[in-house]
Amino acid sequence: MSMDTKGVIEVRELAEIAPSPKVVILDCRYDLADPEAGARDYAKGHIPGAHYASLHRDLSGPKARYGGRHPMPSAEYFQRFARALGIERDSLVVLYDDHRLAFAARAWFLFHYFGHNRIAILNGGLNAWRNADLPLQHTVPARPDDGDFTAIPRQEILLDHGRIFSALDNPPWQLIDARDPRRFAGIEEPIDPIAGHIPTAINKPWQGVTRKDGSLKSRSELRKHWQDIPADDQLVNYCGSGVTACVNYFSLYLIGRTDALLYPGSWSDWCAHMLYPQTEQSE
């Protein structure tokens, strides 16, 4: 892959380049209902050389009243995490999961947000690796020397509650809700304290950009998926806690809609502001 890439990598290509010291592989498997399930699954077998990245320990910051259930980590925290994995400024970071990109895309977004230009998601995830009859490793790789990864936040690709709320009467963007249609419609809400969605949002469930086997749809299929929204509309992605919205964000990036934004606090942060209002000045 090129020295500047933020796309998708196929199984056979990863198998060829995985031994390179310039390739760092992260296993991002996770289960929101069982936060330690991903770590247990990693111990049972993972792509050789892969390190484990936990959503709540490594890919999120500490919880607070505001910021959602999976807040963005600070630049200092994420830089320390990445350097401990041996990630250099020119490393190719390859991410995978077994849940249709849900957690790999969150990791991809964080590297993208913090300024890394060589990141790719394994198409089809661990299932594709297994289906290719490639080996698994059952031991944890040796801890590498610290890398020189430097986190440089791109604040301009994030939106917070205050900016969205203040623009509700005449939004300059289109809000995209990645959650299940029943949650979007307020019919059911299994996680957050309030049901419904942010006013003016439309529903584009995150699973719509992948196939049931976990592989990403083709670029032409992705363009068709998003064609009902004018190309000059700026899209703001959100979900329940800023995780699966990254799948939609990633798919938009792949088809050239690189001006998309993310509301990382998402619906869980929106609910917190409804339950515990605060003035814009204190925000």
Element (DSSP H or E) covering residue 93: strand 92-96
Residue 239 bears catalytic tag: yes
Distance (Å, whole) CA 248 – CA 238: 9
Q: Which of 241, 198, 247, 240 shows the shortest CA–CA distance to 226?
A: 247
Question: Contact at 8 Å (CB) between 136 and 23?
Answer: no
Task: Pick the catalytic residue from 28, 239, 246, 271.
Answer: 239
Alpha-carbon dihedral 194, 199, 202, 205, rounded to 10 degrees: -20
Per-residue exposure over 55-81, b if at least 16 CB sit within 10 Å of its own CB, e if not = bbebbbbeeeebbbbbbbbeeeebbeb
Which of the residues are catalytic? Answer: 239
